[in-house]
């Protein structure tokens, strides 16, 4: 019994911190720098800020910069991509922690982000770049949420030839509440 309990506790701890994305800021941009980062096991990422004119009244105030240039660990992002399929990834918010450096305990900024694009090499399928947007509570974003129809093969109405709504693959959601 105790062995099973230890295994359950360890797996729960892994899943709780599993989806928190750790990133460090980068100052230098360019193709050569990105290639060097990828060779060292990091993936370049960009986090865009949503313009919020009522930021002082509505919620947390983001920095004046419209985008943050970051790098993330490839293993961490690959494990997230393995656990969540690609159409569902772009409609799932993740906590992001921007640290001062690799292995640093100093937290520069944190919040929830929504992946917009995952850039891959068309030939090899390797990750090239990630694009996120800040998605704090109350932020209005336009997100395509994938729709999954279950049980269409056993539905008596569809077997008789009634119209199926399976052509609708995405629903647009305008506000995120976490």
* pLDDT tens readout for residues 39-70: 999 999 999 986 655 555 555 555 555 688 99
Answer whether residue 1 shows pLDDT above 70.
no
- With respect to residue 26, please indicate whether it lies within any of the assigned structural domains: yes
Percent above pLDDT 90 for the chain: 24
Domain count, the chain: 1
Q: What is the mean pLDDT of the chain?
A: 76
Which of 127-131, 155-159, 164-168, 169-173 ranks highest by mean pLDDT? 127-131
Identify whether 41 is part of a domain: yes
174 belongs to a structural domain: no
At residue 132 the predicted structure's pLDDT band, cuts being 50, 70 and 90, is very high
Does residue 85 sit within a domain? yes
Q: Give the pLDDT score at 57.
A: 52
Helix (H, G, I), strand (E, B) or coil at 166: coil
Quote the domain boundaries for residue 78: 18-136
Report yes or no: 95 and 19 within 8 Å, Cβ to Cβ: yes
Confidence of residue 171 (pLDDT cuts 50, 70, 90): low
Burial of 61 (0-12, 13-18, 19+ CB in 10 A): exposed
* pLDDT score, position 71: 94
Residue 151 is assigned to a structural domain of this protein = no
Residue 158 lies in a domain: no
Q: Has residue 175 been placed in a domain?
A: no
CATH label of the domain that carries residue 79: 2.40.240.10
> Is 46 a member of any domain?
yes
The residues facing 134 across adjacent strands are 113
- Rounded to the nearest 10°, the torsion over CA 19, 20, 21, 25 is 180
Which DSSP symbol is given to 90?
Answer: T
What per-residue confidence (pLDDT) applies to 67? 83
Least confident of 43-47, 112-116, 124-128, 143-147: 143-147
More confident residue, 65 or 107: 107
Contacts of 46 (CB under 8 A, 6+ apart): 67, 68, 69, 70, 129, 130, 131, 132
The model's pTM is 0.69
């Amino acid at each position: 019994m105790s062995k099973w309990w230890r295994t359950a506790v360890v797996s729960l701890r892994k899943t709780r911190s599993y989806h928190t994305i750790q990133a460090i800021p980068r100052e230098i941009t360019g193709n050569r720098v990105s290639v060097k980062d990828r060779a060292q096991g990091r993936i370049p990422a960009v986090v865009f800020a949503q313009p919020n004119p009522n930021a002082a009244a509505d919620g947390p105030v983001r920095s004046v910069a419209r985008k943050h240039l970051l790098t993330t660990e490839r293993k961490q992002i690959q494990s997230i991509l393995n656990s969540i399929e690609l159409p569902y990834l772009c409609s799932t918010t993740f906590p992001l922690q921007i640290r001062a450096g690799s292995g640093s305990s100093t937290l520069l900024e944190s919040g929830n982000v929504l992946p917009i694009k995952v850039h891959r090499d068309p030939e090899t399928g390797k990750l090239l770049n990630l694009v996120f947007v800040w998605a704090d509570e109350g932020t209005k974003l336009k997100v395509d949420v994938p729709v999954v129809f279950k049980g269409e093969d056993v539905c008596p109405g569809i077997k008789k030839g009634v119209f199926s709504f399976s052509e609708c693959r995405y629903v647009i959601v305008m506000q995120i509440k976490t």
